[in-house]
Amino acid sequence: MKQVRIKDIAQKANVSIGTVDRVLHNRGEVAPKTREKVLSIAKEMNYQPNIVAQALTTRKTYRISVLIPRGGNDNIYWLSHPKGIEKAVKELHPFLVEIDYCLFELHNEADFLKRTEDILNNLPDGVILAPILKKEAIQFCKKLDSQKIPYIFIDTFIDQTNCVSFIGEDAFQGGRVAASLIDYGLPAEKDILIVNLAKDLENTQHLNRRNQGFLSYFLDSGKNTGMKITVEIPVTEQSVVDQKLDSIFQQNANIGAILVSSAKTHVIARYVEKRDLKTILVGYEVTKKNVEYLKKGIIHFLIGQKPMEQSEKAVKRLFEFLTTHSISLEHEFQPVEIINTETITMF
Amino acid sequence: MKQVRIKDIAQKANVSIGTVDRVLHNRGEVAPKTREKVLSIAKEMNYQPNIVAQALTTRKTYRISVLIPRGGNDNIYWLSHPKGIEKAVKELHPFLVEIDYCLFELHNEADFLKRTEDILNNLPDGVILAPILKKEAIQFCKKLDSQKIPYIFIDTFIDQTNCVSFIGEDAFQGGRVAASLIDYGLPAEKDILIVNLAKDLENTQHLNRRNQGFLSYFLDSGKNTGMKITVEIPVTEQSVVDQKLDSIFQQNANIGAILVSSAKTHVIARYVEKRDLKTILVGYEVTKKNVEYLKKGIIHFLIGQKPMEQSEKAVKRLFEFLTTHSISLEHEFQPVEIINTETITMF
DNA sequence: CTGAAAGCGCTTACAG
DNA sequence: CTGAAAGCGCTTACAG
């Protein structure tokens, strides 16, 4: 089946190609009747614009704003996203896409709002955002809706918006993977300590899902029969953490493994190192500090969610949407990755 | 810096764009002097063709022949390559690339040769091949060279050719990863059995590298102090394998883990299941039968090499080379992937 | 409200 | 051996 061109539509509708172009792009100045006719014919012939020709004539640069937390040495997770974005941009060549990074300080609402203002002033063709601050994100999405700017979520999903697509972590499955790794290495009768180490504001939804997955594994497949002890530590100050853990280990001599449900795994690793414990330690996220302890052999496994690929996909999806106005798949979970000393060599 | 067009070159060289085009494409019929001049100007201005415009006028379909072993239910490895290829083709849209699959029966030289003939008759724009049969592959590459057809290797690398690029497994690292997983789960004093299960013709180079990596891990980082017992079993008949293993286990009551250096891991898994052994079992490749035993909990980990991504990259690289005649990176190893019951859910 | 023309950068005949 | 023209499918002024 040959490609349908606007010329073909024009012929069939007895109008000029200029007119067809006008209705296809909603540029107005077309009689309602003509409009209807062209539209129905285009649909009937299943017209798909030739984006090569489009690119050649418009020489359009697609402008995408990316609203994510600022990465840093201790936040490699968000530092990797720009890398994935650059990769996508490169692969999209020779089509031109320009990325405007709007990085906000994690948990700083004011900063987040300021960045959203920047985007609204900038009026990009599309937005990729991590809607970590739920309330603010919803507000922002409404404004994008009214400007007809499409947006894709990464990392976190929230309802009540018209997001084109979501790409993120399968936190539940991540929990199961962590569980399976501990279960494999730990004698069946040993106890497991689950540490939830997160400040108030952190995205606790992910952590909950991870823990649910973790526990579900032992309900349906694990061989471990030990206790699963959960502890919440809402601060990451080492001294507080140490104290808390000390008291737990005093009451419980049978703990053989620790799971940390957040990226702060290194804080617990530090404790394990200081107390010279022989426990298994599994956590999340490939951050610099975590990797340090992974290499020392104190953290045994890290569960990763391939942040680079996450944002790479997001850019490609958004581009696809911008050029074709259709999207193959709405939501997608990233596969879970198991990382240990030997697979980390690339760092 | 603005894009340089053939028009710019033409102006500077005081010729028409037609002439520039002729020299750029070596279509002859150009005075040597003119040729030199145009060439030097193009170089000086760092001319890069606009492949969008190119695509629009030529409406060229890039034809790529893919010469790999035929996959099958028990050879998911080679079955996944076409999937990666399709993915690349899809992502390359709206550029047209047409894949001609030339699948040969594994270890069948005659069949391989026949397929190479097919390709040589077909004269594609480029070739992606797995040069598993070394001698035959070298011959074939020479013929491709003389036809000026570029080719990329996947899976296996061989010298003495002009391949544009190689994308494949890091077998040594794969061995190290397998070792680290066993080391983590196995008491330090237990022995480890290394099974090399491969027919004569199989690609033993990979297996050797894997074993080297495996042993190297215990030399520089492993905590395991047990014996490493190596056994070669050149056939995969279950009865022969069973017999051989029986005699080994009789002589050695301290074996706590088995590594299988090839994709035939399921044969050993079968044995482990029958004898109801409690040993750790680690092997390579996500094949259907292997996954079966993984799900049963008999195989604990499989080491994968992301075949889909391998061939996806190959297609993109080759396309890049065909359109721009330059290539970013020559050889690339795929990252090693750790697979267990919980990460395999997608199958 | 509608159509005809020019142009994006390149390639492909064709004329000389 | 070389140049001028037409065309790929689309968009962008411009004229009516």
**Residue of A162 and B347 predicted with greater confidence:** A162
Query: Do residue A291 and residue A325 come from a single domain?
Result: no
Within window 156-215 on A, which residues have Cβ closer than 7 Å to strand C? none
**Do the Cβ atoms of B342 and A173 come within 8 Å?**
yes
Two tokens, residue A112: 């987040």
C-beta atoms of B94 and A342 within 8 A: no
* Shared-domain flag, residues B210 and B283: yes
Q: Which residue of B has its CA nearest to A305?
A: B343
pLDDT of the residue at A201:
45
Whether the CB of B176 is below 8 Å from some CB of chain A: the reply is yes
Q: Is residue A202 part of a domain?
A: yes
Whether residues B298 and B315 share a domain: the answer is: no
CB atoms within 10 A of CB A341: 21
B163 and B312 share one domain: yes
- pLDDT value of position A345: 61
pLDDT in tens, B146-200: 998 999 999 988 888 999 999 998 999 999 999 999 999 999 999 999 999 877 5
The reported pLDDT for the residue numbered A51 is: 86
For A92-146, the pLDDT digits (tens) are 888 889 999 999 998 889 999 999 999 999 999 999 999 988 899 999 999 999 9
| Spatial distance between the Cα atoms of B10 and B3, rounded to a whole number of angstroms | 14
| Per-residue pLDDT, B327 | 67
Q: Which among A299, A273, A274, A295 is positioned nearest to A284, based on CA atoms?
A: A299
Q: Give yes or no: residues B21 and B133 share one domain.
A: no
User: What's the pLDDT score for residue B201?
Assistant: 45
Percent of chain B with pLDDT over 70: 96
**Domain that residue A127 falls in:** 56-169+307-334
Average pLDDT for chain B? 90
Query: How would residue A185 be classed by pLDDT, with cut points 50, 70 and 90?
Result: very high
**C-beta atoms of A342 and B336 within 8 A:** yes
- Split into its structural domains, chain B has a count of 3
Domain assignment present for B341: no
The enclosing domain of A283 has a CATH number of 3.40.50.2300
Per-residue pLDDT at A1: 54
Question: Integer distance in angstroms from CA A38 to C1' C1?
Answer: 15
Residue B247: the pLDDT is 96
Provide mean pLDDT across the span A77-90.
92
Same domain for A234 and A286?
yes
**Rounded to an integer, what distance in angstroms lies between the CA atom of residue A176 and that of residue B342?**
7
Q: Which pLDDT does position B260 carry in this prediction?
A: 97
Of A323, A312, A40, nearest in space to A154 by CA? A312
Q: Measured between alpha carbons, how far is A307 from A314 in angstroms, rounded to an integer?
A: 11
Task: Place A34 in a pLDDT band, splitting at 50, 70 and 90.
Answer: confident
Question: Looking at the structure, do residues A14 and A96 belong to the same domain, yes or no?
Answer: no
Burial B275-294 (b: 16+ CB within 10 A, else e): eebebbbbbbbbbebbbebb
The pLDDT tens digits of the residues spanning B111-133 come to 999 999 999 999 999 999 999 88
* Cβ separation A52–B50 shorter than 8 A: no
pLDDT at A329 over 70: no
Query: How confident is the model over A296-306, as pLDDT tens digits?
Result: 999 999 999 88
- Test B342 with A177 for CB contact under 8 angstroms: yes
**How many CB atoms within 10 Å of residue A269?**
22
Say if residue A294 is in the same domain as residue A314.
Answer: no
Q: Whole-number mean pLDDT of chain A?
A: 90
Is the distance from CB of B100 to CB of B157 less than 8 angstroms? no
Q: Is the pLDDT of residue A79 over 60?
A: yes
Mutate to test the interface with A, among B343, B344, B347 (most CBs of A within 10 A): B343
Strand C nucleotides within a 7 Å radius of protein CB atoms: 1-5, 7-14
Q: Does residue B346 fall inside a structural domain?
A: no
A255 and A182, same structural domain? yes
Beta strands in A36-122, from DSSP E residues, in sequence order: 61-69, 96-104
Is the per-residue pLDDT at A2 higher than 50? yes
Q: What is the rounded average pLDDT of the residues B241-258?
A: 96
For residue B16, give the CATH number of its domain: 1.10.260.40
B278, part of any domain: yes
* Euclidean distance between CA atoms B294 and B266, whole angstroms: 9
A218 neighbourhood in chain B, CB within 8 Å: none
- The verdict on B183 and B286 lying in the same domain is yes
For helices A134-146 and A109-122, angle between their N-to-C axes, nearest 10 degrees: 10
Task: Look at residue B203 in the predicted model and tell me its pLDDT.
Answer: 61
Which pLDDT tens digit goes with each residue over A253-309? 999 999 999 989 999 999 999 999 999 999 999 888 999 999 999 999 999 988 899
Which residues in chain A are closer than 8 Å to B181, comparing Cβ atoms?
340
What's the pLDDT score for residue A232? Answer: 93
Strand C proximal to B250 Cβ, under 7 A: no
The tens digit of pLDDT for each residue in B55-90 reads 889 888 899 999 999 988 767 788 899 999 999 998
Q: Which residue has the higher pLDDT, B324 or A334?
A: A334
Q: State, as a whole number of angstroms, the distance between the CA of A19 and the C1' of C3.
A: 8
- Asked if residues B137 and B129 have their Cβ atoms less than 8 Å apart, the reply is yes
Question: Could you tell me what percent of chain A has a pLDDT over 90?
Answer: 59
Tell me, in Å, how far CA of B95 is from C1' of D14?
Answer: 34
Say if residue A325's pLDDT is above 80: no
How far B13 CA lies from chain A's nearest CA (Å)? 25
Asked if B340 lies within 8 A of A177 by C-beta distance, the reply is yes
Tell me the residues of chain A between 289 and 318 that have a Cβ less than 8 Å away from chain B: 300, 316
* Beta-strand relationship, B301-304 and B280-284: parallel
One domain, residues A91 and A208: no
Residue pLDDT, tens place only, B185-235: 999 999 999 999 877 545 677 889 999 999 999 999 999 999 999 999 988
Element spanning A281, H or E: strand A280-284
Sign of CA dihedral B200, B202, B208, B214: negative
Is residue B275 included in any domain, yes or no? Answer: yes
pLDDT > 90 in chain B, percent:
59
Whether B69 is covered by a domain: the verdict is yes
Q: Which of B52, B185, B336 sits opposite A185 (nearest CB)?
A: B185
Residue from the list B95, B177, B343 with its beta carbon closest to the beta carbon of A177: B343
Q: Outline where DSSP puts E strands in chain B.
A: 61-69, 96-104, 126-129, 151-155, 165-169, 191-197, 228-233, 255-260, 280-284, 301-304, 331-334, 337-339
The pLDDT of residue B328 is 61
What was the pLDDT predicted at A102? 97
Closest nucleotide to A3, Cα to C1': D9
What per-residue confidence (pLDDT) applies to A72?
Answer: 83
Q: Would you say residue A339 lies in a domain?
A: no
Q: Dump pLDDT digits (tens) for A187-234.
A: 999 999 999 987 754 567 788 999 999 999 999 999 999 999 999 999
Question: What is the pTM assigned to this prediction?
Answer: 0.86
User: Parallel, antiparallel, or unpaired for β A61-69 and A126-129?
Assistant: parallel
Strand partners, A332: A167
Cα distance between residue B75 and residue B267, in whole Å: 14
Domain presence at residue B339 = no
Same domain for B198 and B89, yes or no, is no
Q: Which residues does chain A have within 8 Å of residue B184's beta carbon, measured at their own beta carbons?
A: 184-185, 300, 340
Instruction: Annotate B55-67 with b (16+ C-beta within 10 A) or e (fewer).
Output: bbeeeeebbbbbb
**Which pLDDT score, from 0 to 100, does residue A48 have?**
87
